[in-house]
Amino acid sequence: MQKFNLTVNGAPREVEAGKNNALLYVLRNELGMKGVRYGCGIGECGACSVILDGERIFSCDTPIWAAEGKSIVTIEGMAEGDRLHPLQEAFLREQAAQCGYCINGIMVTAKALLDKTPEATDEQILEALDRNLCRCGAHVRIIRAIRSAAEAMRSEART
């Protein structure tokens, strides 16, 4: 077991884990970030998506040592206090979740995209979400919610 220093949702955290433990398990089991979901365990479904130093990654196949000293954002870190992130608001407004299991990973992926590409096209949104699986068929509402959130984020940036 080793000690690792991470910044999770803006807060410095020290955890003790085996160096090859998956980041997913450290986030869920050691830090209580239950919004990071276990899906496939092999980096294929996107349910475990988090943002690591600005890039979306799959936490199920990322060893803890790869996150040492880096900034991690989970779904729990998207809201600012009681104020939901525009993506979270848009997903609620557009009723973009059906069962909801994949939605946390989809929102984190969309945040990583919109942080870098605020004027993302539908093609860019679809490309970013390509490795996030949703079996419920809420894709049209998901895309609509991301477009709506992007517009809200651009409006906020202008004010």
Reported as a pLDDT band with limits 50, 70 and 90, residue 157 is: confident
Residue boundaries of the structural domains of the chain = 2-77, 86-158
pLDDT in tens, 65-116: 999 999 999 999 999 999 999 999 999 999 998 888 899 999 999 999 999 9
Residue of 151 and 157 predicted with greater confidence: 151
Reported as a pLDDT band with limits 50, 70 and 90, residue 155 is: confident
Q: Is the pLDDT of residue 134 over 90?
A: no
pLDDT at 56: 97
Strands (E), the chain: 2-8, 11-17, 49-52, 55-58, 71-73
pLDDT in tens, 25-65: 999 999 999 999 999 999 999 999 999 999 999 999 999 99
Instruction: Give the C-alpha separation, 19 to 17, whole Å.
Output: 6
pLDDT at 15: 96
Q: Is the pLDDT of residue 136 over 90?
A: no
How far from the centroid of its chain's Cα atoms is residue 45's Cα? 13
According to CATH, what is the number of the domain 86-158? 1.10.150.120
pLDDT at 159: 72
CATH fold of 2-77: Ubiquitin-like (UB roll) (3.10.20)
pLDDT at 130: 94
pLDDT at 137: 81
pLDDT at 50: 98
Reported as a pLDDT band with limits 50, 70 and 90, residue 135 is: confident
Same fold across 2-77 and 86-158: no
Residue of 157 and 133 predicted with greater confidence: 133
Give the burial class of 30: count Cβ atoms within 10 A of its Cβ; 0-12 exposed, 13-18 middle, 19 or more buried: middle
Closest C-alpha to 8, from 83, 78, 99: 78
